[in-house]
């Protein structure tokens, strides 16, 4: 075969590639999971905003200063959780766009390749002097054949070129979407820091107003420390605190005035259980995130779970799942920093593995009151348990 004939064959081959249908590409791996995370984060953001609005309305109409302060703190905590959810949504959106861009670039390269080779072959053919076609055997036949093929497939090549142009436009739109998502992430992070600063100031202001109650709170804190030192494990600690809550509930149910406690602070005032009213969800998760272990499942430690373990964002805001009173707030053995809330009526909640604790023993809390933050690091896990008279309860039935 002559050199000219080989060129004609190359052009014909490039034409075949350029006009062949592009391969069907599967969606980038992990895209479905990223979209699920985006949907969950957006739902968590909307729920947190709704809670913040409701708490702000409650704080505006509340006349009792203590309950008003708790509602204000809970509203700010809800706004913090909304900002955290917005950050999660922005990160998921950026990941989705990155995956789509990778797939778009691969598809674009696949479509551009044959057209690029066809153009190169045609340019090579055009650069050859016409006189060569008269002296080289078969050249005229090849030229006629190539022109005939070009006339047939030129509309297809134009359509493929239009597809490439459309793909380039989609790529540019995805790049613009990525820039918007990055801006949204930056804005959410700025709002998160501002809300955290507002919460710090609000908590400091409320602490100054509540110093008069410091003596009773100090006594209850000492009692909680003593209980923690005597308890062998978290179940033992919950049992001891549950016994005290049961005794207090029984005393409160007796007719007539309560007997005077032998020491100041021994008997706490009744717990405000308005967080359990039909107007509000009876129970809520203390932190936004993904549930990785449910009640009764075997946890990573090999122990059967007595509650829910939630994978949260680093430093995520943790709030009271229901109204009650703090009866334990300190590190406990291998469980990290632990907060236990007495809800009254024999109900108690335990939140374990906090990174920071922002409440003290004896403090009354409303549903949504900030009690601490998740640990730093990648994907920390926070555990929450709900008990009724020392028995683990499936809280998923109570979640609003």
Cβ-in-10-Å burial (0-12, 13-18, 19+) of 149 comes to middle
3-class DSSP assignment, residue 298: strand
Mean pLDDT, rounded, for 60-67 = 78
Q: Would you state the pLDDT for residue 148?
A: 62
Residue 292: phi, psi to the nearest 5?
-110, -20
Q: How confident is the model at residue 7 (pLDDT cuts 50, 70, 90)?
A: low
Whole-angstrom Cα distance, residue 343 to residue 151?
A: 83
Residue 230 has pLDDT above 60, yes or no: no
Q: What count of other Cβ atoms lies within 10 Å of the Cβ of residue 55?
A: 25
pTM over 0.75: no
Q: Would you state the pLDDT for residue 270?
A: 41
pLDDT tens for 263-303 read 433 334 444 444 444 444 578 899 988 888 888 777 666 66
- DSSP calls for 66-84: HHHHHHHHHHHHHHHHHHH
Residue 91 has pLDDT above 70, yes or no: yes
Which tokens hold the place of 111? 């479509």
Residue 390 has pLDDT above 50, yes or no: yes
Q: How confident is the model at residue 322 (pLDDT cuts 50, 70, 90)?
A: very high
Fold annotation for 289-398: Glucose Permease (Domain IIA) (2.70.70)
Cβ contacts of 355-361, under 8 Å, gap ≥ 24: 355/315, 355/380, 357/329, 357/330, 358/203, 359/326, 359/329, 360/217, 360/221, 360/326, 360/329, 361/217, 361/220, 361/221, 361/223, 361/224, 361/326, 361/327, 361/328, 361/329
Greater confidence, 204 or 342? 342
Q: How confident is the model at residue 130 (pLDDT cuts 50, 70, 90)?
A: low
Whole-angstrom Cα distance, residue 128 to residue 121?
A: 11
Packing angle of the helix pair 31-61, 65-127 (nearest 10 deg)? 150
Q: How confident is the model at residue 260 (pLDDT cuts 50, 70, 90)?
A: very low
Mean pLDDT, rounded, for 39-44 = 86
Residue 258 has pLDDT above 70, yes or no: no
Residue 392 has pLDDT above 60, yes or no: yes
Q: Would you state the pLDDT for residue 340?
A: 92
- DSSP calls for 319-383: E-SSSEEEEEEEE-GGG-EEEEEEEETTEEEEEEEESEE---TT-EE-TT-EEEE--SSSS-EEE
> Is the CB of residue 80 less than 8 Å from the CB of residue 375?
no
Q: Would you state the pLDDT for residue 28?
A: 57
Mean pLDDT, rounded, for 349-360 = 92
Residue 216 has pLDDT above 60, yes or no: no
Domain boundaries, the chain: 31-126+149-221, 289-398
Residue 185: phi, psi to the nearest 5?
-65, -45
């Amino acid at each position: 075969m002559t050199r000219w004939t080989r060129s004609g064959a190359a052009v014909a081959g490039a034409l075949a590639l350029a006009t062949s249908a592009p391969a069907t590409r599967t969606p980038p791996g992990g895209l479905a999971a990223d979209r699920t995370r985006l949907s969950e984060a957006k739902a968590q953001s909307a729920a947190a905003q709704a809670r913040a609005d409701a708490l702000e309305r409650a704080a505006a109409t509340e006349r009792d200063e203590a309950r008003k302060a708790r509602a204000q703190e809970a509203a700010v905590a809800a706004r913090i959780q909304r900002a955290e959810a917005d950050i999660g949504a922005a990160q998921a959106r950026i990941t989705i766009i990155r995956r789509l861009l990778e797939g778009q670039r691969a598809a674009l390269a696949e479509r551009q390749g044959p057209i690029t080779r066809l153009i190169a072959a045609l340019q090579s053919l055009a650069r050859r002097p016409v006189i060569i076609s008269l002296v080289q055997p078969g050249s005229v036949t090849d030229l006629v054949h190539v022109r005939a093929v070009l006339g047939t497939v030129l509309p297809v090549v134009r359509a493929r070129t239009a597809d490439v142009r459309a793909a380039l436009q989609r790529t540019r739109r995805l790049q613009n979407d990525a820039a918007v998502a990055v801006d949204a992430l930056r804005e959410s992070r700025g709002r998160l820091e501002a809300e955290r600063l507002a919460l710090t100031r609000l908590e400091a202001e409320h602490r100054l107003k509540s110093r008069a109650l410091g003596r009773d709170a100090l006594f209850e804190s000492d009692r909680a420390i003593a209980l923690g030192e005597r308890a062998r494990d978290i179940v033992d600690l919950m049992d001891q605190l549950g016994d005290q809550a049961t005794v207090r509930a029984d005393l409160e149910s007796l007719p007539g005035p309560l007997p005077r406690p032998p020491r100041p602070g021994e008997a706490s005032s009744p717990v405000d259980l308005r967080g359990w009213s039909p107007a509000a969800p009876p129970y809520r998760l203390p932190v936004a995130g993904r549930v990785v272990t449910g009640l009764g499942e075997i946890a990573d430690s090999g122990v059967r779970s007595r509650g829910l373990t939630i994978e949260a964002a680093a430093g995520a805001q943790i709030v009271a799942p229901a109204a009650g009173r703090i009866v334990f707030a300190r590190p406990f053995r291998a469980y990290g920093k632990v907060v236990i809330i007495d809800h009254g009526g024999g109900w108690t909640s335990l939140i374990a593995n906090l990174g920071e604790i922002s409440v003290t023993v004896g403090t009354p809390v409303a549903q949504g009151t900030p009690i601490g933050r998740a640990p730093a690091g990648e994907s920390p896990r926070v555990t929450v348990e709900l008990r009724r008279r020392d028995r683990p309860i499936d809280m998923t039935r109570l979640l609003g």
